[in-house]
A and B are shown apart, each in its own frame.
Chain A
């Protein structure tokens, strides 16, 4: 395998601190605030940005809206919208566009007031608006987002003997990381979590069932928030204020209902090998795994699909705290606290890149000693029916 080309790197990051803005700011304002802070972090300015990547959270014709609002004149506009995985797609596309010489400084941003808007993301039902054919077939049945993921968990348990106690290891590990992150603790306070402390497996399986077999503590929060990431060419990155975090591999894939499809196998089984192949590294070399933790099962299925363990063996593999930042034998999982315990305004993908970059700079609140390689994997859409997968491999110098 050839050595990966180090053409593009994350050079600036910012995560919006507040998870409950109480309606005081708009998603656009959150995006602009974070973008400005991320550019400062990189030692760059608005005028340096020549490529914009946007998932449409600012409204119609997103590339135009955001260029005008920020006050920039991009030469590359990419408005790929694949739900929570959008930002992994954007990072991979930015690296590709920079490597091709089409751009020098790429800006990714996200802003959401999902919590302030009181959106019932997890337990609302779908298909209330204008429907396409798939929605028009499924809308009558009251499948909530949580139950959609629960359909995967139930099948995983049936096929492989996975238990609720094993799935609980994931929220237990991410809560331990959240308790070390002051922003995550403040987030849980702002969102009025009842019990803000480290939790154990008994706490998770003893919490109320939302959609069998998923319990409350296996479900992510709904917060406000946002973030921004600046990705720049090697030339720019070398002059940056912070150590560059190289984008060394990317992969993207889809999965949707087909008769006979094994729904325990997510689109990560296809995006992962592409990303690892391009990077020239394997899962066993990864120090930090930033995996979209909408629910416990999302992480378990994706860890298997990315090749951290064999398909179906994730349950026993995660037992015993393997995913904690200070344990050997596996990657540190979602060291910021994840969507489960730190930040989930609806599309969490950008935070996966931000915390992976913190780790590779040595800035995490649950810092993995000597962290050199990280994976950020976004899952957009719904694991139990149709979703997109974006895998990005990141490495430091």
Chain B
């Protein structure tokens, strides 16, 4: 029996396949509108601020701030059940987009995180994709 794995993203979802393809090169991508410069996230094929359909891909520096977090103590998913407690968080990236992720690299996720804490990108590699995670930048 193989070890249970994290639920991995689909590689063929039309709006997000380029985002996930770029993770293989450890690029965290986000979109901006060519017409009005608005940041678009999650990825889409249209701007949610103006009516443009011309979006540009950019690569994030991968630094941001914990907007809010929770340590999950109970999960039925086989991969996550073996990893409780683990931290889920909304991360505000410095480029102006907010994404859900896990904050890793702390001894005790129930105690060692705080809102407003600075975090940086780290990667968990899989065969077809890499999962963007975050870890605290030294306090």
Contact = CB atoms under 8 A, between A and B. Distances in A.
Instruction: Give the 9 A-B CB pairs with smallest separation, nearest first.
Output: A150-B70, A133-B15, A142-B80, A155-B68, A212-B71, A120-B76, A143-B88, A147-B70, A136-B13
B73 A125 contact: no
Given A136-B13, A151-B90, A212 B100 contact: no
A123 B68 contact: no
15 contacts: A127-B7, A133-B14, A133-B44, A136-B13, A140-B8, A141-B101, A142-B80, A142-B102, A154-B69, A211-B70, A211-B72, A211-B73, A212-B71, A212-B110, A258-B98
A134 interface: yes
A152 interface: yes
Query: Which among B19, B43, B70 has the highest number of chain A CB atoms within 10 Å?
Result: B70
A190 interface: no
Contacts of B97: 259
**Listed residue (A123, A128, A133, A142) with the most chain B CB atoms within 10 angstroms of its CB:** A142
A4 interface: no
Interface of B: 6-10, 13-16, 19-20, 39, 41-44, 67-77, 79-80, 83, 85-86, 88-90, 92, 96-102, 110, 115-116, 131
Nearest to A130: B10
Interface in A131-159: 131-134, 136-144, 146-147, 150-155, 158
Contact of B115 (A138, A154, A258, A384): A154
A364 interface: no
A318 interface: no
A123 B75 contact: yes
* Interface footprint category on A: 35 or more
A361 to B, nearest CB: 40
Contacts of A144: 72, 74-75
Given A142-B80, A150-B70, A151-B88, A133 B102 contact: no
A193 B70 CA distance: 26
Interface of A: 120, 123-125, 127-128, 131-134, 136-144, 146-147, 150-155, 158, 208-214, 257-261, 263, 384-385
A158 B7 CA distance: 30
B70 A151 contact: yes
Contacts, number: 129
A142 B92 contact: no
A213 B69 CA distance: 10
Contact of A133 (B42, B100, B115): B42
A212 B76 contact: no
Contact of B19 (A137, A147, A152): A137
Nearest to B109: A212
Given A137-B16, A257-B98, A131 B10 contact: yes
Contact of A136 (B9, B76, B79, B115): B9
User: Which of A136, A147, A257, A260 has the largest number of chain B CB atoms within 10 A?
Assistant: A136
B7 A137 contact: no
Given A144-B75, A212-B110, A136 B67 contact: no
B107 to A, nearest CB: 15
Contacts of B73: 208-212
Contacts of A258: 98
Nearest to B77: A125
Nearest to B6: A140
B67 A155 contact: yes
Contacts of B10: 131, 136
Contacts of B76: 120, 123-125
Contacts of B110: 209, 212
Interface centre among B69, B71, B80, B88 (most CB of A within 10 A): B88
A220 to B, nearest CB: 15
Nearest to B95: A259
For A154, A258, A261, A384, the residue with the greatest tally of chain B CB atoms inside 10 Å of its CB is: A154
A125 B76 CA distance: 7
B70 A133 contact: no
B13 A142 contact: no
A376 to B, nearest CB: 28
B7 A125 contact: yes
A123 B80 CA distance: 11
Given A124-B76, A140-B7, A212-B73, A263 B13 contact: no
Contacts of B69: 151, 154
A47 B94 CA distance: 61
B100 A141 contact: yes
A132 B13 CA distance: 7
Given A139-B9, A259-B98, A154 B70 contact: yes
A382 to B, nearest CB: 11
Contact of A142 (B16, B41, B44, B79): B79
Nearest to B90: A151
A125 B86 CA distance: 13
Contacts of A151: 68-70, 88-90
Contacts of B42: 133-134, 137
